């Protein structure tokens, strides 16, 4: 049997903290990203949505119901509305229940130092955190679609990156920021405005027209799900032969980490950056 796992030489795999160190701290909170940086993650992943008053905030779901004590769609709420919500307590309860169900004691427990740790996180604040990290920490920003703010998300995102001097890297290889999306149209908007900013095409399944390893025009990084990689490991080889990098999400189990390394993927996106780094001998 011949496929990618037999043909690729080993190379360092980038470990990307999915929504921060989101197994241990509430996803998309300052606490989760601080923990990920402390744990040694090479990069941070975040989802961004636009509020009713034009702020980019790090929230995965269309509505805030799951990850806060509030209700409503992010796009219908203003930043001041979101700032009054608690985005952390649900995770504390969930984590304790999970540990107790396994009859184990946590070796690290989420304990917010102040309210900012679990308040809504703006992308601007996250960029400040990365800038002050004291080492190179890359950022993978996912634009969420569909949205009532079609096109405006990318426009606001690029304006914010410009404020931080991150919108026009000297080359794609040197950029500490990359933009990810399941929407080829979103990535096209980004590339039209900032051609050297790296873009990642995320996939839950492989479209028949892309099975040979092609990606949407101008995109050089594939973002297949772990399910795709498990079920179709040879797809990684096709992507590699086409000259693309491969960033896989969401990789949490040790056997999946091992498979990704064996297949020669370039980045592992995980809720467990500390555990993955340990498994990789880092």
Digit-coded pLDDT (tens) for 132-143: 999 999 999 999
Q: Is the pTM of this model over 0.85?
A: yes
Question: All domains of the chain, ordered by start, with CATH?
Answer: 4-61+121-279 (3.20.20.190)
Is-catalytic flag, 60? Answer: yes
What tokens were used for 216? 């949407």
What tokens were used for 143? 């634009």
Digit-coded pLDDT (tens) for 237-269: 999 999 999 999 999 999 999 999 999 999 999
Look up tokens 């399910």; give the residue.
227
Rounded to whole angstroms, how far apart are CA atoms 82 and 80? 5
For residues 52-67, give the mean pLDDT.
97
Digit-coded pLDDT (tens) for 172-204: 999 999 999 999 999 999 999 999 999 999 999
- Annotated catalytic residue, options 3, 8, 11, 18: 18
Task: Return the pLDDT at 176.
Answer: 98
Q: pLDDT class for 100, splitting at 50, 70, 90?
A: low
Within 10 Å of residue 14's Cβ, how many Cβ atoms?
16
- Annotated catalytic residue, options 28, 55, 60, 247: 60
Task: Return the pLDDT at 103.
Answer: 64
Buried b / exposed e along 53-84 (16+ C-beta atoms within 10 A)? eebbbbbbbbbbeebbebebbbbebeeebbee
Please, what is the average pLDDT of the chain?
91
Is-catalytic flag, 11? Answer: no
Task: Return the pLDDT at 3.
Answer: 47
- CA 62, 67, 71, 76 dihedral sign is negative
Q: Tell me what percent of the residues of the chain surpass a pLDDT of 70.
A: 88
């Amino acid at each position: 049997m011949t496929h990618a796992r037999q043909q690729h030489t080993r190379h360092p795999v980038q470990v990307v903290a999915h929504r921060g160190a989101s197994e241990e701290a509430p996803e998309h909170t300052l606490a989760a990203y601080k923990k990920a940086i402390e744990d040694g993650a090479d990069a941070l992943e975040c989802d961004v949505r636009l509020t009713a008053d034009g702020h980019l905030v790090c929230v995965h779901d269309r509505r805030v119901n799951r990850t806060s004590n509030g209700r409503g769609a992010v796009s219908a709420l203003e930043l001041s509305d979101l700032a009054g919500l608690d985005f952390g307590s649900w995770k504390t309860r969930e984590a304790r229940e999970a540990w107790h169900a396994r009859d184990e004691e946590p070796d690290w427990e989420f304990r917010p130092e102040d309210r900012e740790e679990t308040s809504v996180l703006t992308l601007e604040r996250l960029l400040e955190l990365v800038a002050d990290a004291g080492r190179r920490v890359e950022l993978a920003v996912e634009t969420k679609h569909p949205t009532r703010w079609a096109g405006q998300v990318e426009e606001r995102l690029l304006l914010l990156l410009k404020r931080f001097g991150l919108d026009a890297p000297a080359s794609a290889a040197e950029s500490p920021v990359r933009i990810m999306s399941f929407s080829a149209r979103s990535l096209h908007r980004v590339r039209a405005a900032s051609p050297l900013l790296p873009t990642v095409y995320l996939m839950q399944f492989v479209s028949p027209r892309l099975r040979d390893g092609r990606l949407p025009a101008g995109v050089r990084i594939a973002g297949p799900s772990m399910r795709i990689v498990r079920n179709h490991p040879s797809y990684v080889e096709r992507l590699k032969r086409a000259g693309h990098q491969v960033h896989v999400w969401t990789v949490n189990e040790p056997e999946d980490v091992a498979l990704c390394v064996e297949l020669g993927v370039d980045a592992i996106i995980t809720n467990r950056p500390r555990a993955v780094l340990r498994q990789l001998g880092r």
